[in-house]
Amino acid sequence: MPGGPFPRIRAAVAALLLAALAGCGINTIPVKEETAKAKWAEIENQYQRRADLVPNLVATVQGFARQEKEVLTAVTEARARATSVRLSADDLSDPAKVAQFEAAQQQLGGALGRLLVTVERYPELKSSQNFLELQSQLEGTENRIAIARRDYNEAARAYNTEIRTFPSRITAEIVYGAKPLAYFEAVTPGANQAPKVAF
C-alpha cells in the first residue's frame, strides 16, 4: 500500500476538524451578534422618530394652549435629555448604560403623557387636523418602539444563548471574547406598555 494508513488517518482527522468547526459557532456567533446590533439600531431609529415628532406636537399644542407653558417646557427638556443619551452597539453588553438610555426615553414618554392629558382641556385642539395627524403618528411610533424592543430582546436572547452553550461557548471565549448583551427592560413599572395617546 503506497503511503500506508496515514492518508486515511489524515483525512479522518481533517473531517473531524471540519465537523468540529461547523458546530463550534465560529460563524454563528458574529451573525447573531450583528443581528442583535441591527435590532438595537431599529430601537434607536424609532426613538429618534418619536423625538422628531415632539417639536411639531409642542408647536401645535402651544398654538392652542399658551397657558400650558410648564408642560410644554417639560416635554422639550425631556426630549433634549432623551436625544443626548447615546448608546453605541458596543455598549449593549453594559446593563447600566442600557438602563440609562431607557430611563431618558421613559422621561420623555412621561412628559408626552402629561402633555396629552392637558389636551383634554382643549376640545378645539383635539379636533385639529394637524394634532390628529401628529397623535396618530405618535401612537404608531410608540407601537413600533414596542415591537423594536421585543425584536432586539429576542435577538439578544439568541446571541446570549449561543455564546453560553457548548461548543459555541469555547469559540465565544477564545476567539471573540464575547460578552452577553443586556436586555432592554422596563425601568419603571408599567413602562413596557406604550402610553395611551387616543382620546
- Measured CA distances, 167 to 36, 173, 175 (Å): 21, 11, 12
Q: Which amino acid is located at 137 in the chain?
A: Q
Q: Domain 37-176, what architecture?
A: Up-down Bundle (1.20)
Cell of 180: 452577553
Q: Give Cβ neighbours of residue 14 (< 8 Å, ≥ 6 apart).
A: none
Q: Nearest 5 degrees, angle CA 53-CA 58-CA 59?
A: 100
pTM value?
Answer: 0.75
> Would you give per-residue pLDDT tens digits along the chain (199 residues)?
455 567 777 776 666 665 555 556 678 899 999 999 999 999 999 999 999 999 988 888 888 877 778 888 899 999 999 999 988 888 999 999 999 999 999 999 999 988 888 888 888 887 888 888 988 999 999 999 999 999 999 999 999 999 999 888 888 888 889 999 999 876 555 554 555 544 3
d(CA 10, CA 166): 26
